[in-house]
Amino acid sequence: MKKVAILTAGGDCPGLNTVIRAITRTAIKQYGLEVMGILDGYRGLVEDRTVNLTLRSVEDILDRGGTILGSSNKDNPFAFLEKKDSEPVDMSQQCIAQLRAHGVDCLFTIGGDGTLTSARDFSRMGFPVIGIPKTIDNDLNATDQTFGFNTAVTTATEAMDKLRTTAEAHHRIAVVEIMGRYAGWLTLESGIAGGASVILIPEIPYDFDKVCEAVKKNTKNGKNYTIVAVSEGSKPIGGEVVIRKLVTNSPDAVRLGGIANKLAEELEERLGIEARATVLGHIQRGGQTSPFDRVLSTKYGVEAVELAMRGQFGRMVAMIDGKISSSTLEDAVGKLKTVPVDHELIKVARMIGVSFGD
């Protein structure tokens, strides 16, 4: 093996640069490999836009959010849209031909379910690929932990810490909308850490009357404010999620958003208590990478290179039972890891009086 390539795709999150740094430093320092970066995700792969990665180019990116390689969450090389209104074209063979022309012996793909699905498909075509699991939602199958999650939990928790003081001062309900379309891990952990009285997640449809009861109970017990942490993908029993808009040229066209505003309006109308909605949005994706995620991302980057050197392609680095390991890309994609309704954290939250609206 002489040369490897790195690609980051999908939504950005803290820790991407740390993985890029770890792969590059390990590849160069330990094995004398050449490292190539692919710009702007799978679009850059199709368009053959690359950059040489050196020890100097990754020197100061350990704690930096985002990705120095850029990303795209709309492009699929197996159904590529050159322009917004064009017909999808399979560009996978061209991508492989270009990688081989560059002399690339292994492609490291860093991303979530969509990114790693394309990685799996490249692997099925016989090209050496290794995946690294990234998502702030922590919903990727075949790993206990994705990098970026811990930083996002910290960001959401800090937001609730700030909202608590203003909600208490004005005796308000603070409804905080947190990312999580299908999985409520981020809302669950940050809700517990941020002292939310109500936590609403996609896995447990809520009864609005029960949410109101939780707020009334706070008032009865002398607590003059309430924090409601709600996943963007939460929905009432028998109801639907709140859709903000549709993006027709995206592999996943639905963009959620607005559940916090809807809940705040309904709570204020029903209870006569002032309610304010806060949508954290992309704040959860940005900022400095937490120490935990820096360490985890470094471990993942190092193990990815080790897998490549052992010729174990078609796999994704993973944390399993607290240890760095790997899973097949086949096992990693196609099924999201959602919160079991009997999960220990849900039991813990219920024990301290948190309502899930059920």
Q: 153-209: per-residue pLDDT in tens?
A: 999 999 999 999 999 999 999 999 999 989 999 999 999 999 999 999 999 999 999
**pTM exceeds 0.85, yes or no:** yes
Q: Which of 209, 182, 186, 216 is nearest to 199 (CA)?
A: 186
- The whole-chain average pLDDT of the chain stands at 93
Q: Which tens digit of pLDDT belongs to each residue from 21-30?
A: 999 999 999 9
Domains and CATH numbers, the chain: 3-147+289-332 (3.40.50.450), 152-285 (3.40.50.460)
Report pLDDT for 244.
65
- 241 pLDDT band (50/70/90 cuts)? confident
Strand pairing report for 129-133 and 315-320: parallel
Q: Is the pLDDT of residue 262 over 60?
A: yes
Task: Say if residue 287 is exposed, middle or buried (CB neighbours under 10 Å; 0-12, 13-18, 19+).
Answer: middle
pLDDT at position 345 = 97
pLDDT in the model for residue 245? 55
Give the helix/strand (H/E) hosting 38.
strand 34-38
Active site residue 137: yes
Per-residue pLDDT reduced to its tens digit, 25-60 = 999 999 999 999 999 999 999 999 999 999 999 999
Q: Give CA 269 to chain center in angstroms.
A: 34
Residue 86: the pLDDT is: 80
Q: Which of 85-89, 96-100, 164-168, 213-217 has the lowest mean pLDDT?
A: 85-89
CA distance from start to end of the chain: 55
**Active-site option among 137, 207, 209, 252:** 137
**Is pLDDT at 240 greater than 70 in this prediction?**
yes
